[in-house]
A and B are shown apart, each in its own frame.
Chain A
Amino acid sequence: MELPLLHLALVGTPNSGKTSLFNALTGSRQKVANYPGVTVERKEGFFVTPLGRQVSVVDLPGTYSLRGRSPDEEITRDFVLGKASGETMPDLVLCVADATNLRLTIRLLLELKRTGRPMILVLNMFDIATRRGINVDVERLAKELDVPVVTSIAVRKGGTADLLQLTDEISSKLAAELRENSWRALSVSELRATQREADRIIADCVSLPASPDTLTARIDAIVLHPVGGLIVLALILFVMFQAVFAWAQPLMELLNSGFDALGELVHNTLPAGLLQSFLQNGVISGVGSVIVFLPQIIIIFLFILLLEDFGYMARAAFLMDRIMGGAGLHGRAFIPLLSSFACAIPGIMATRVIDNKRDRLTTILIAPLMTCSARIPVYTLIISAFIPARDVWGFINLQGLVMFGLYATGIASALLVSFVIKFFMLRDYAPAPFMLELPDYKVPQLKSIAIGIYTRAKMFLQRAGTTIFSMMVLIWFLASFPQPPAGATEPAIDFSLAAIIGKALEPLLAPVGFNWQIAVALIPGMAAREVAVAALGTVYAIEGGKEAAEQIGQVLATKWSLATALSMLAWYIFAPQCASTLAVIRRETGSWAWMAVTFTYMLLLAYAASLVTYNVAVALGAG
């Protein structure tokens, strides 16, 4: 007899390990990190229990109550109460607790009980609790709460065995347990009473060690020191960008020469003609010029993932709070903005943790100004071609320093834009509160770091294979057709559609120092930022003709003035060159207008920044 699918839901306070548990149960690879508010979406996965029961489990954003104060908490509330359209209530709620820190979860559990759903309390992170000498009387806890209790270690193999077994036991007698949903939002006094009750139960069932863990406090004494903490933060960012250049170089050169050899092979084996040109100029020079940046992407993510898993992110938010508050940003805006260093899309999604609508909107509008990883290829290409790789003051790599400057400019302009928005548009603004749990530090999980990097690398290569590749086909086509008339003396590309389009746009972009090749590259570059690198690779490869098997960087160094290069860097700090980001802004704000606003303001800023940069550079003799 086939039993119906069993529906589980993972509910719990933020950062209690719900997603880790979800990944352990279903073999998924959802994002896990050591700060509250990582999960902002509902994710469903499937598994089979040891006794063969088919189970669907839903991972939900963490929440302290069912009140639903912010968009992410609403998702959890609606799912648990069965309010989400087309959803049934879960058959069994797994209330996930951080076993080292039960107060808030037990209170949440007491609130959840009113929904009448069958429930299990999962004491996760039991390894840490054991190591710290925290003693939980599981049986007594289960009796006092009248809820089955099980321990788990989500990040260890087999750490969910007890939970699976209990699920099997309980699921066979679920129907008998259904009770009515009597939940309604708790009043302040009910809330207080529930917390009291929770504290009483904990006092009965949990014994803390005589000497508490002080490692986190000792690290924080340095990391959260008013002055020292800011120095540490600056140092971390600084080392990160130095590393991007210093460590990635050998690997990049390897990839570069690999693609060069490949191009040469194609050139030598295929007969001259369209196919040869397509493979050599379109595919290898175009897509290849983006793929060589893979090592740098990996290094950036290695740093970000390590910091996230260690537990540093919430500290950085603490340190930056007043500075961000001065720019009119919500305290919770820091983590979404930090995620935007990877990519603006998860960053914009992460703004769901912000409860105030206007604060959320402001954060969404400025998130694309944070330097996302798609800008890395553009920045590094230009920096490597124009900025000498020498050390200043003996130990600082000048290229890394310029990169650091570009990131800093991105951050500064985001703060500035936020300030302007608050000042002119949302005048009746009162500073939103900042309340954030600072989780204990944890040793980063090697496996989750590896998975994180793998996922990122895969995404990058997938983009290279899809978006970038298809744009490359387009560019190659535009740059190759129509073919020059017989006997023409000018370079073939001058007759192509690309040259016609580029030259039509040139007058518009000439004031900022862009030539027609850049103009052509910027149009498909609207799809994704890296495309511009690939497009330049293709256009210059076709223009260079057969003998030019040079790398794109070297070509740029001879064809562009320093002023043009700097202007291009300035352009890329601001320009809205990413269609997916705009699409997500539309979805998250639910409005085409805000998408248009973002696009316009970024484009205007880009033009203005490039105009100033170019003219100042020319005036200083870099033209």
Chain B
Amino acid sequence: MTDTNDTRSQMPLGLAQRGYTGVIQHLSAREAGSALSDIELESRLIELGFVEGARVEVLHEGLVGRDPIAVRVDNITIAVRRREAMAIIVA
């Protein structure tokens, strides 16, 4: 999982469009503004497989505010709201 071009700039997954593919760089719960505490949010994301190096693809998005999004993480699909996805920094 090293073939991501370093030239691509990092961004939160919460801003990604449908069809976006990338690799998780790091988690940054503080910037997400979720109702959960930073530690709790980070733990949950990791428990669903969002760890550094995992390949993600935004498969689907909802109607209102293009929220939530369905993200392929390796070989499972997880639905998350964009607010929580802001904690996942990808490139």
Contact = CB atoms under 8 A, between A and B. Distances in A.
B79 A435 contact: yes
Interface of B: 34-36, 39-49, 51-53, 59-68, 70, 74-81, 83-84
A229 B66 CA distance: 13
B47 A65 contact: yes
A67 B76 CA distance: 22
Contacts of B48: 64, 104, 435, 437
B67 A191 contact: no
Interface string A299-328: 000000000000000100111011101100
Contacts of A437: 48, 76-79
Given A430-B35, A438-B70, 20 more contacts: A64-B48, A101-B76, A103-B49, A107-B47, A191-B43, A191-B47, A195-B49, A196-B51, A226-B61, A226-B63, A321-B68, A321-B79, A321-B81, A432-B35, A433-B35, A435-B79, A435-B80, A437-B77, A437-B79, A440-B77
A434 interface: yes
A335 to B, nearest CB: 12
Contacts of A321: 62, 67-68, 79, 81
Contact of A195 (B46, B61, B76, B81): B46
Contacts of B74: 103
Contacts of B64: 322-323, 326
Contacts of A17: none
A208 interface: yes
B23 to A, nearest CB: 13
A434 to B, nearest CB: 5
Contacts of A431: 35, 81, 83
B76 A322 contact: no
Contacts of B34: 433
Given A217-B59, A226-B66, A322-B63, A433 B41 contact: yes
Interface in A194-223: 195-196, 199, 208, 212, 216-217, 220-221
B39 A199 contact: no
B81 A224 contact: no
A415 to B, nearest CB: 14
A438 B46 contact: no
A224 B47 contact: no
Contacts, number: 121
- The secondary-structure label for the interface of chain B is mixed
- Most chain A CB inside 10 Å of its own CB: which residue of B52, B64, B81: B81
A188 interface: yes
A393 to B, nearest CB: 26
Q: Closest 3 A-B residue pairs measured CB to CB?
A: A430-B35, A224-B60, A322-B64
B34 to A, nearest CB: 6
B77 A438 contact: yes
Chain A's interface size range is 35 or more
Contacts of B41: 433
A191 B46 contact: yes
25 contacts: A69-B44, A103-B49, A103-B75, A188-B43, A188-B46, A192-B52, A195-B46, A195-B49, A195-B51, A196-B51, A208-B75, A220-B60, A224-B59, A314-B79, A318-B62, A318-B79, A319-B62, A321-B67, A322-B63, A322-B64, A323-B64, A433-B84, A435-B79, A438-B70, A438-B79
Contacts of A217: 59
Nearest to A434: B81
A432 B84 CA distance: 10
A321 B70 CA distance: 12
B51 A435 contact: no
B25 to A, nearest CB: 13
A435 B84 contact: yes
A433 B83 contact: yes
Contact of A101 (B47, B62, B65, B75): B75
Interface string A117-147: 0000000000000000000000000000000
A216 B72 CA distance: 12
Contacts of A435: 44-45, 48, 78-80, 84
A438 B45 CA distance: 15
B80 A433 contact: yes
A433 B36 contact: yes
B49 A220 contact: no
A313 B83 CA distance: 23
A3 interface: no
B66 A67 contact: no
A104 B35 contact: no
A470 B6 CA distance: 74
B60 A104 contact: no
Contacts of B61: 226
A104 B49 CA distance: 6
A436 interface: yes
A227 B63 contact: yes
Contacts of B79: 314, 317-318, 321, 434-438
A592 to B, nearest CB: 30
Nearest to A321: B68
B9 to A, nearest CB: 24
A587 B60 CA distance: 39
A220 B47 contact: no
Given A208-B75, A435-B78, A437-B78, A318 B68 contact: yes
B83 A318 contact: no
A326 B65 CA distance: 12
A64 B40 CA distance: 13
A452 interface: no
A537 B2 CA distance: 73
A100 B68 contact: no
Contact of B46 (A192, A229, A325): A192
A103 B60 contact: no
A208 B45 CA distance: 24
A193 to B, nearest CB: 10
A62 to B, nearest CB: 12
Nearest to B54: A199
A192 B51 contact: yes
A103 B76 contact: yes
A195 B52 CA distance: 10
Find the residue from B34, B48, B65, B79 having the highest chain A CB count within 10 A. B79
A72 B59 CA distance: 29
